[in-house]
Structure 1
């Protein structure tokens, strides 16, 4: 057995794990991160092929202030590690053939877009955005940094006057004044990052609209993986060790319900603390049954954010009539959402998203070519076969060609797919979910799985299945909150 004192072992190397590793190193711990795959980054890995680069996981860079706050905690800035560009326009939304709305990079111009689509809507938008700004200040500057220990964390003078916003929904709030179906879809879109339907998401979460329209959409040059590389560089500067191809297969306890060691491949490694940024359900499966907090029944009743079918495609020409981020909302969202949340199944006519980062960043594709990432949100746990993947590939390529008025199929150099089975294989993801637990009212804050195990004294968790929830900025915050809780409870 390898023995080390005052050592914390971290399982997984996604955003939350690397964030936690940095904070724990700052607090004086000897930190080792164990990653089962051959590269760090968790879901935020890269796929390289024939001179093309693809972000396998996250492609949106929102809430730049959260990244700035993270690096500032270590006397650094994002620009010390990667270069950011604000996207202009932010993104484009298709509603039908050659029928799209392009979202500019500032609120003043967005108001003009709204007014052009629906007279008088810009006034309603500004009222909505004022509320969204206030909620952002409360949520992202305070509430999301709470450890989810008690319901009292949510009770403050500022939240008390907004209690009605927790019991009404984004959908109700948006549709109260705006009538245009297109504008409604644009305003309801950001909460999809929280992994839930607008009809199930508290109105308080309109702060995501502030992140969208006011803070803007950004692109790290070289992709989201550059953020991972920057965080890893920071962690290594602070003495953190990363071990790849290191699968943790068992958590061993002593007679006092403490983690004494972990089984990593064929070695038993002693540790004084264990923090898991891996899938929460999977991590508990590494414990003997009596030490697991949550039963299979518990997990089966939770509302999970979607899984995804993704395609990474290399085109031998530039794609026309699209932006860096392009959303295809020409299908009915509610019908698609039923197949994700209510009746898990493959959607007949799916909405989908496409990213063409090589429009902005020439490093993503050889000259004159285009890198395209396509995503269809799906219910976790559904059947995943090569035949189904191919069927839906054909559906979205035909839609892309029709909506953007061009032929692209004969320009495909290669394609690679990624779906439910891959999320399970690569990340031990529960039912192959891509984003964690949906942020609905009954799964918010203290109602999410706990950061600290109730049955194992020195076992902690971080990441998208615990607080604050899905998304890259929340993952950075989760790493910090988990670390602060460790420091508080281990004094």
Structure 2
């Protein structure tokens, strides 16, 4: 754990006014930690509701989470809450899912259920391929070791200094780490299991990272420890409950949240012989009026591409457009929210559909010229399997995520089929495929509520780079310290948080991103999680221009 005596002064003095752009999970978490640490925090959120991608939508008694739906890395959530003097158990009602998820394979009549712990999953692997149970045990041993190493040295650091990484653990493990970084996840999994179904199960976590199994470093086989060893949880009431909890904690610490406030520029001063400093944010309020919020520092938890190329002038951009031209975007997505009458016992809480031609599916998304995969490998969530509050009695709530190329030209979605034609066609194809593969012959006829979202929605609503659903893919050149700093190189007092910066994609990573933002401001270069609870620091309150 990091200690207060590891802090060598502050980059931003305690009591300073800090403006956070974006009230997604990273923005809310940043606001909570910064406010607790003695800063005066205001959050500007473009939308009418907070949560960003982790939003909520309701119609006719069906309530949908519009974004994240996998609760993994429970210790990260609990640690974050404990920093604020509470716990996940106090804030959330968590249910263990068993099965954790179900997988349907093209051309196979029987799906495969992955269970709540390692021993059960080893038996499942053994049934599908003799000897694969022992192989999975070895694979998960390595995954657990790698995950422990990542938590200790790579997830909770801002990489402001590399000195803390020069430890015996890292030096001894350097050859293995190098292999894990240079070998693909697909090839690494293939050294443990040969059955295509098992290779797909071990390779699919790449999609959670916005990438493909052949593009993702095998370092990320650590993800299999999370679902096949630790198990999968679900917060009753949906993921919006996590958003509500973090918002309430941020406000309890004194943070102010302004919704309907669309940031249009990060303001800087110009000082002789020194770098410009962030001094505030210009934003447009819900009535269209332009306002200015002065600050001593600015944290952008918005999409990093948008922050750099739209909110800063070209000379002050650390990551200009030419940087993004060389980056690999994660996938876009067509989201389909369906309210269905009658029960769907064929589906688990989480279900995955994997095509036989795995490579063709990912090539369609990541290789130029891109196209929508047909058939597609996609994800289905049925939270009504676990949560009685998300659908009317006797009904089911379905959320389908179809990975597609990150291309806003695919269009936007809509309600009751009024989205753009290509988005609605993807939705129709996914519904028909799910109906066929899962044996739900009358699925289409039972749909009472339908809403779709497409890449253009993500660009419009969340300022997502290229309309992607996740952000930059976790390929080698976009992982760990290569992902990009959480502090501007050209503007003093400008920081970044969220899935498009370090440490990466996913709700747990957004919580960690907020913590390493605070560590950066404290000049804390340790690599481990901070001590619980976070001890507030008080100090002189600097004056800022009105």
State how 1:162-311 maps to structure 2 within 5 Å: 162-163=176-177, 164-256=179-271, 257-265=276-284, 266-284=290-308, 285-311=310-336
Deviation at residue 323 of structure 1 after TM alignment = 0.2
Q: Judge conservation of contact 1:332–1:351 (CA < 8 Å) in 2.
A: no
SS at 2:461's partner residue? helix
**111-120 vs 285-294, greater mean Cα deviation:** 285-294
Aligned residues: 487
CA separation of 1:53/1:190 partners in 2, compared to 1, >3 Å: closer, same or farther? same
SS at 1:301's partner residue? coil
User: Unmatched 5+ residue regions in structure 2?
Assistant: 1-14, 285-289, 412-419, 525-538, 540-546
**471-480 vs 345-354, greater mean Cα deviation:** 345-354
Deviation at residue 152 of structure 1 after TM alignment = 5.6
Deviation at residue 159 of structure 1 after TM alignment = 3.3
Deviation at residue 327 of structure 1 after TM alignment = 0.3
Aligned to 1:322: 347
Aligned to 1:472: 507
Deviation at residue 331 of structure 1 after TM alignment = 4.2
Q: When the two structures are superposed, what TM-score results if normalisation uses the length of structure 1?
A: 0.96
CA separation of 1:238/1:169 partners in 2, compared to 1, >3 Å: closer, same or farther? same
Q: Judge conservation of contact 1:143–1:153 (CA < 8 Å) in 2.
A: no
SS at 2:318's partner residue? coil
1:63-85 deviations in Å (ceiling 9; x for gaps): 10110111111221012221000
CA separation of 1:152/1:447 partners in 2, compared to 1, >3 Å: closer, same or farther? farther
Deviation at residue 382 of structure 1 after TM alignment = 4.8
Deviation at residue 124 of structure 1 after TM alignment = 0.6
Question: For 2:170 and 2:363, how far apart are their aligned partners in 1?
Answer: 31
Question: For 2:67 and 2:356, how far apart are their aligned partners in 1?
Answer: 24
Question: For 2:517 and 2:257, how far apart are their aligned partners in 1?
Answer: 19
SS at 2:389's partner residue? helix
1:355 pairs with one of 361, 381, 388: 381
Deviation at residue 345 of structure 1 after TM alignment = 2.2
Deviation at residue 151 of structure 1 after TM alignment = 5.6
1:102-147 deviations in Å (ceiling 9; x for gaps): 1111111111111111111101110111111111111124311111
Deviation at residue 333 of structure 1 after TM alignment = 2.2
Question: For 2:16 and 2:143, how far apart are their aligned partners in 1?
Answer: 43
Question: For 1:202 and 1:289, how far apart are their aligned partners in 2?
Answer: 33
Aligned to 1:486: 521
Aligned to 2:425: 391
Aligned to 2:129: 118
1:143 pairs with one of 139, 154, 157: 154
SS at 1:200's partner residue? coil
1:376-410 deviations in Å (ceiling 9; x for gaps): 11121252231111221221111111112122111
Q: Judge conservation of contact 1:331–1:351 (CA < 8 Å) in 2.
A: no
Aligned to 2:10: none
Deviation at residue 207 of structure 1 after TM alignment = 1.0
SS at 2:158's partner residue? coil
Question: For 2:447 and 2:356, how far apart are their aligned partners in 1?
Answer: 24
Question: For 1:373 and 1:51, how far apart are their aligned partners in 2?
Answer: 15
1:42-96 deviations in Å (ceiling 9; x for gaps): 1100011111110001011111011011111122101222100010110000003
Question: For 2:409 and 2:109, how far apart are their aligned partners in 1?
Answer: 34
Q: Judge conservation of contact 1:196–1:440 (CA < 8 Å) in 2.
A: yes
User: Unmatched 5+ residue regions in structure 1?
Assistant: none
- Is 1:134 the counterpart of 2:153? The answer is no
Question: For 1:207 and 1:153, how far apart are their aligned partners in 2?
Answer: 22
Q: Judge conservation of contact 1:313–1:414 (CA < 8 Å) in 2.
A: yes
- Is 1:32 the counterpart of 2:51? The answer is no
Q: Judge conservation of contact 2:498–2:510 (CA < 8 Å) in 1.
A: yes
Q: Judge conservation of contact 1:316–1:370 (CA < 8 Å) in 2.
A: yes
- Is 1:372 the counterpart of 2:394? The answer is no
- Is 1:58 the counterpart of 2:83? The answer is no
Q: Judge conservation of contact 2:355–2:361 (CA < 8 Å) in 1.
A: no
2:338 pairs with one of 310, 313, 319: 313
The 4+ residue runs of structure 1 with deviation greater than 2 A are: 96-99, 148-160, 330-333
1:157 pairs with one of 161, 165, 168: 168
Aligned to 1:332: 357
SS at 1:229's partner residue? helix
Question: For 1:464 and 1:441, how far apart are their aligned partners in 2?
Answer: 16
Deviation at residue 200 of structure 1 after TM alignment = 2.1
Question: For 1:367 and 1:400, how far apart are their aligned partners in 2?
Answer: 23
Question: For 1:107 and 1:486, how far apart are their aligned partners in 2?
Answer: 40
Aligned to 2:407: 381
1:92 pairs with one of 88, 102, 109: 102
Question: For 1:80 and 1:408, how far apart are their aligned partners in 2?
Answer: 38
Question: For 2:231 and 2:455, how far apart are their aligned partners in 1?
Answer: 31
Deviation at residue 320 of structure 1 after TM alignment = 2.8
Question: For 2:111 and 2:147, how far apart are their aligned partners in 1?
Answer: 28
1:6-42 deviations in Å (ceiling 9; x for gaps): 2100000111111111111121001111100000011
Q: When the two structures are superposed, what TM-score results if normalisation uses the length of structure 2?
A: 0.87
Deviation at residue 150 of structure 1 after TM alignment = 5.1
Question: For 2:167 and 2:214, how far apart are their aligned partners in 1?
Answer: 25
CA separation of 1:138/1:419 partners in 2, compared to 1, >3 Å: closer, same or farther? same
Deviation at residue 158 of structure 1 after TM alignment = 2.6
Q: Judge conservation of contact 1:92–1:322 (CA < 8 Å) in 2.
A: yes
1:261-284 deviations in Å (ceiling 9; x for gaps): 211212111111100000111112
**103-112 vs 187-196, greater mean Cα deviation:** 187-196
Question: For 2:239 and 2:324, how far apart are their aligned partners in 1?
Answer: 30
Q: Judge conservation of contact 1:15–1:472 (CA < 8 Å) in 2.
A: yes
CA separation of 1:154/1:93 partners in 2, compared to 1, >3 Å: closer, same or farther? farther
